[in-house]
Structure 1
Amino acid sequence: MGKIAFVFPGQGAQYVGMGKAFAEQSESAKAVFERAGKSLDLDMSALCFDSSEEALQKTENTQPSILTVSYAIYTAVKEKLGLEADAFAGLSLGEYTALVAAEAMNFEDAVRIVRKRGQYMQEEVPVGKGGMAALLGVERDDVLKVCEEASVFGICEPANFNCPKQVVVAGEIDAVKQAIEISKRYGAKKAVLLPVSAPFHTSMLLGAGEKLRQEMLKYSFKPAVHPVYSNVTGDRLDPETDVRENLVKQVFNSVLWEDCVASMVRDGITTFIEVGPGNALTKFIRKIDKDVQVYNVENPEDLEVLAEKLKTGGGNADV
């Protein structure tokens, strides 16, 4: 089977009911929801299982809920399969789940931090001033040219390099709208505004990053037990790297997800297991490298299929 990496989704993967089946069937997963609830003094199970889409879409709720669901499912997967990962990574918010799984962060601390992170990121830019857009079919170097041309109209920067020819740009709304039009000259097959109200992972969130830095001084961090790959560098975090500073930079720097996956493959990872709500990372990874095995687990049925696939050495599957 080779080396295994667990990867975790970021904001946007949330939906009402996520994680409920695991909490009902796994004591370890149920315990994670209880731990999150005590840490934040709220009913995390009710928020994830029985609230509304509107409640979950509030950034200060979205971030701790996705972290909780992803980590709860991870504990259930590890409990059933007994797998020890060779690497961890996560997309944006998902990097916090990766750091918790790699034992660099305490879970209770992490849910408190990401709730503040969500608040700081949302509050930094007034609603309506910033935006994000997905550009599909544009080469990476050309995205940089698109942003440069659009910057005449305001701030416009690459926010997420998800996979080949799928990049998200962000910044001031007028500049982002111009980027959509400009990208068509560079071969964009599709270019659309995303339903978010803040320009995440751009220089417009420098202030949010500074607030997060001050918040994280309240908490302690440890060197990761297993390798974690950084969104900021697109490579393995050096054991000497200040985890706090890496997470601060992540707020206002591009997410280099494509680079993270390529670096893990370079380092011998042959199997990726996406754990948490949705399967966006599974789709990205397959576009980045068609030779690796990729699975995703978001409900107990997926875990049963994964267990069987790993037992038989099966190839890629949408589990």
Structure 2
Amino acid sequence: MDKRVFLFPGQGSQYVGMGADLARNYPSARNVFDEADRVLGFPLSQLCFEGPSGQLSRTKYTQPAVLTTSIAVLEVLKEKGIACHAVAGHSLGEYSALVAAGVLSFTDALKIVQRRAELMDDAMPPGQGGMVAVLGLDREKVEEVCRVASAKGIVQPANYNAPGQVVISGTREGLAEAAGLARQAGARRVIPLPVSGPFHSSLMQKVGEALKEYIKNFNFKEPDIPLVMNVTGDYVSDPERIQDYLIEQVSSPVCWEQAMNKLSSDGFIHFTEVGPGQVLSGLVKRIIPNCKVSQVGDQASLEKMLAQDGRTV
């Protein structure tokens, strides 16, 4: 049997309507949304199911919404007998992975993510910083572009997503300079991302410091299955180290390509994206062309994946 990895998406994968059909069809999914509404003190489920899109796209709402939807999907997969043998999550998705691995309860993860989202949402005035995807340049060239552009403002690699796809993060001035240099260096595309701040850069260090004070109040356990984390792109099992990396992650690059290659080198060949969107499915196909990829985020994709596995709905 193929060793399956569950991958959990981060901010940017959200959409109005996510989780709605699974919550209608499966009490296990509905229970996750009900718990989120209770813990957060507002109807997150309604925001996920009905919008409005503008509110759902605000960091302070997006992050708990994506986490909750991902865990609702996870509960349905458990109900269907679909197990995983390792986990990884992209940025925010790392908290979903921690729940799947038994490191955190869903309730505790949600409380931490709510605080994380509020801190990140307030970290910088709107329009002063952001993120840009650079396509078609290797990581060394992007790093060089950032070094040169830093003369005009802070700008750093933020996500090493896949070969030829690196996201950079920084101030408005640093990003503008880096975008121009990247085009001159031969980038195929340079795409500003719809995010509210310069995430995974040194500009988020104060967020990490505040999150550290909050996160120490929670009980972290050793993972039940292998967990690969963003900061190192490698396995982590020590609960204290896990906490440290969650704090570092806020202001450090996401080493996604390295993480996927690590799992592949250890014999993991089947990757299932659990939650809204298909961003990670596309990335892992680029990183490991011969792997098996599936995605489950709604009723239709669940039925498709179960059929591929020879199971019934």
Matched, 1:292 2:291: yes
Q: How many residues align?
A: 311
What letter is aligned with 2:180? E
Q: Which amino acid aligns with 1:286?
A: K
Amino acid at match of 2:155: C
Match of 2:52 in 1: 52
Match of 1:133 in 2: 132
Between the aligned partners of 1:9 and 1:206, the Cα distance in structure 2 is 23
1:259 aligns with 258
Secondary structure of the residue that 1:104 maps to in structure 2?
Answer: coil
2:223–2:237 CA contact under 8 A, matched in 1: no
Aligned mates of 2:304, 2:82 — CA distance in 1: 15
Structural mapping, 1:178-197, within 5 Å: 178-197=177-196
Corresponding residue of 2:96 = 97
CA contact (8 A) 1:177 1:193 kept: no
In structure 2, the residue corresponding to 1:269 is in which secondary structure?
A: coil
**Aligned residue number for residue 70 of structure 2:** 70
Mapping of 1:85-164 within 5 angstroms?
Answer: 85-164=84-163
- State how far apart, in whole Å, the 2-side matches of 1:240 and 1:15 are: 32
Structure 1 runs (4+) deviating above 3 angstroms are 238-241
1:5 maps to 5
2:118, 2:238 → 1: CA distance?
29
Q: Secondary structure at the match of 1:70?
A: helix
Can you list the C-alpha shifts for 1:104-161, whole angstroms capped at 9, x where unaligned?
A: 0010111111111011112122222212111000011111101001111011100011
1:65 corresponds to which letter in structure 2? A
User: How far apart are 1:266 and its partner, in Å?
Assistant: 1.0
CA distance in 1, matches of 2:206, 2:56: 24
Q: Which amino acid aligns with 1:245?
A: D
Paired residue type of 1:148: R
Residue 29 of structure 1: aligned partner: 29
- Matched residues in 2 for 1:233 and 1:3: separation? 22
3-state secondary structure, aligned to 1:274: strand
- Alpha-carbon offset, residue 241 of structure 1: 4.8
Give 1:308's aligned amino acid: A
TM-score (norm 1): 0.95
Q: TM-score scaled by structure 2?
A: 0.97
> Would the aligned equivalents of 2:29 and 2:72 in 1 still touch at CA under 8 Å?
yes
Aligned to 1:315: none
Stretches of structure 1 that go unaligned for 5 or more consecutive residues are 313-319
The residue type paired with residue 268 of structure 1 is: G
| Distance (whole Å) between structure 1 residues aligned to residue 226 and residue 32 of structure 2 | 23
Amino acid at match of 1:258: E
Deviation of 1:185 after TM superposition, in Å, equals 2.6
1:192 CA displacement: 2.1
Q: CA deviation at 1:264?
A: 0.7
Which ranges of structure 2 fall in alignment gaps of 5 or more residues?
Answer: none
Going from structure 1 to structure 2, the CA distance change for 1:60 and 1:151 (only over 3 Å counts) comes to: same
Q: State the SS of the aligned residue for 2:190.
A: strand
Q: Are residues 1:16 and 2:7 paired?
A: no
Give aligned-pair identity as a percent.
Answer: 40
Q: Which moved more, 1:123-132 or 1:139-148?
A: 123-132
Q: Is the 8 A contact 2:58 2:196 kept in 1?
A: no
* CA displacement at 1:239 relative to structure 2: 3.2
Q: Does 1:171 find its partner at 2:170?
A: yes
Structure 1 residue matching 2:187: 3-state secondary structure? coil
